[in-house]
Amino acid sequence: MRLTTFAGLFCGLLAAVAVIGVAMREQRPVPVPAATPPTTWPDYSPQGPGFQPPHGERGPLIAYGYEIVTRTFATIGPEGTDPKMRFAGNNLACQSCHLDAGTNRFALPLVGVFKTYPKYSARNQRTISLEERIEECMTRSMNGRPLPGHSREMTALLDYLRHIGDPPAAPPLPEPQAPPLPPDAGRGAVVYTTICAACHQTDGLGRRLGSVDDARGYVFPPLWGPDSFNDGAGMDRYQHIVPFVRTNMPRGVDPQHPQLTLQQAWDVSAYVIAQPRPKYGR
Ligand code: HEC
Ligand code: HEC
């Protein structure tokens, strides 16, 4: 009895709200619910539930931020149709390194990072903002120029990072363990040829999805050469490339059960670091 009365009342209320809603729509915008960020660690990998554009006023901007992270080459890349929008200097995507749109725990995760800024930066020897940190990846990893501070693109990136910023950030990975033998690019070349070249190609220049100048990016991104990260990038340092390659390459490997030995990871990193790439600041 009580339940049906309640249900009746509830339906009546809903109907009333709907009527008022329709009436009010003419005068002012319908209030939209806030975009609800994921409270548990999100999974935007191809195997996961994927990214859903959140409801709410900020939804479209967050979705644009996701688009920039996953399709950087198409949104702010050097081959975009509008020259004013060419900020990145190469055709990588943020998620070439921050795998799965920054939701992969083992590959430079961006989940939870929003709340850790402003943060002390050893590189700058001062506290920097999240915006400044993004610009560092723009000018080093992406070998490009900074995004204007108040641009829609920077706002979208910050909104996306805020959106996935709720769960606590993953603890920083420990510095890579020293290899049994000093890293050797010669041995690394063998690792490269037998394991990496299948995807990143023998010349290290990667494999495009389409053709040069179509702004569609890579199936397998370049590891060196003119369209790669520059020599000021974190990925050009053992500290970052060794753990990244060890746990994530070949792409698809289970990070808990790496395919490469520690020695192979150091050796192949030595080989990659020794290859030509753009110079930072030029
Ligand atoms: C070539 C690889 C690469 C690419 C591409 C790349 N990054 Fe990074 N990014 C890194 C590395 C390496 C770090 C350093 C991680 C650290 O300091 O522990 C980093 C750090 C960051 C951080 C700070 C994370 C933290 O925990 O403090 C942010 C934010 C970031 N990147 C955003 C971006 C955005 C946005 C893009 C695309 C416009 C991008 N990155 C492209 C390699 C890359
Ligand atoms: C099965 C194909 C495959 C193999 C084999 C592979 N990779 Fe990758 N690698 C990828 C893909 C794909 C990405 C980009 C990730 C994405 O877009 O999700 C990537 C990204 C990278 C990146 C960061 C992005 C960049 O362009 O710099 C590095 C560094 C890297 N791989 C190194 C290696 C090394 C070293 C090996 C050999 C030990 C290797 N990879 C083997 C597919 C592969």
What domains sit in the chain, N to C, each tagged with a CATH number?
59-163 (1.10.760.10), 185-273 (1.10.760.10)
Residues 236, 118: Cα–Cα separation, whole Å: 24
- Establish whether residue 107 lines the binding site of ligand 2, counting it when its CB lies within 6 angstroms of any ligand atom: no
Instruction: Give the pLDDT score at 25.
Output: 45
In this structure, are residues 87 and 149 in contact, taking their beta carbons and an 8 Å threshold?
A: no
CA of 43 to the centre of ligand 2 (A): 20
- Establish whether residue 268 lines the binding site of ligand 2, counting it when its CB lies within 6 angstroms of any ligand atom: yes
Ranges of residues in the chain with a pLDDT under 70 are: 1-34
CA of 223 to the centre of ligand 2 (A): 8
Residues 167, 114: Cα–Cα separation, whole Å: 10
Q: How many CA atoms lie within 13 A of 26 on its CB side?
A: 4
Tens-place pLDDT, residues 27-48: 555 555 567 888 899 999 999 9
Residues 6+ apart with CB under 8 A from 182: none
Instruction: Give the pLDDT score at 21.
Output: 42
Q: How many CA atoms lie within 13 A of 233 on its CB side?
A: 26
Pocket of ligand 1 (CB under 6 A): 72, 92, 94, 96-98, 108, 110, 113, 133-134, 137-138, 141-142, 157, 229, 233-235, 240
